[in-house]
Amino acid sequence: MKLILTREVAGLGQAGDVVTVKDGFGRNYLLPRGNAITWSQGGEKQIEGIRRARAAREIRDIDHANSIKATLEAATLTIKVKVGTGNRLFGSVTDKDVAAVIKSAVAIDIDRHSIKMAGHIKKIGTHSAKVSLEHHVTATITLSVVAE
């Protein structure tokens, strides 16, 4: 099966790459999770757009990664959420929420898959998370979850 990757898949390729995989892997894993789209003549035109988006988010070198790390670690990231009795959240704070807060606070587009947390955040308070950047650089960010 021939597919176009829409995001990076470890051991397979980067976003915008055309790969050939076994039918079951493509049909049962890559396509349902949105990691790939089926290859076609029309899909071939989307490759350039995917590659441009990847280049815009890409970290250029280790110095750039270290500067992003310093920016993230210095930033105050506050997430406002609705709470119920006992300061428990309605729902939880996920990596998607953290990526949105990072983008709004410091104007850096971080892929939500590179954010590692110890589960979803379900209580108000201060929590930490790790953001894996390129070139084996990892930033530890502090999240402040407050009531809305």
In the predicted structure, residue 57 carries a pLDDT above the cut 70:
no
Alpha-carbon distance of 26 to 20, in angstroms, equals: 9
Helix axes 62-74, 95-106, angle to 10 degrees: 100
- DSSP 8-state symbol, 111: -
pLDDT classification of 59: cutoffs 50, 70, 90? low
CA dihedral 6, 135, 140, 71 (to 10 degrees): -90
What is the residue extent of each domain of the chain? Answer: 2-57, 62-147
Q: Where are the beta strands (DSSP E) in 2-148?
A: 2-5, 18-20, 36-38, 77-81, 88-93, 115-116, 121-123, 125-133, 137-147
Q: Do domains 2-57 and 62-147 have the same CATH topology?
A: no
Specify the amino acid at residue 144.
S
Question: pLDDT, tens digit, for every residue of 63-103?
Answer: 888 888 999 999 989 999 999 888 788 889 999 999 999 99
Model-level pTM? 0.62
Q: Identify which of 132, 139, 9, 5 has the alpha carbon closest to the alpha carbon of residue 77.
A: 139
Instruction: Give domain 2-57's CATH architecture.
Output: 3-Layer(aba) Sandwich (3.40)
Q: What is the pLDDT of residue 10?
A: 86
HSE at residue 45, side-chain half, CA atoms within 13 A, is 2
Q: Domain 62-147: which CATH class?
A: alpha beta
Which distant-in-sequence residues (6+ apart) come within 8 Å of 55 by Cβ? none
Question: pLDDT, tens digit, for every residue of 5-50?
Answer: 888 888 898 888 889 999 999 999 999 999 998 888 777 777 877 7
Q: What is the pLDDT of residue 107?
A: 87
Q: Identify which of 139, 17, 137 has the alpha carbon closest to the alpha carbon of residue 73.
A: 139
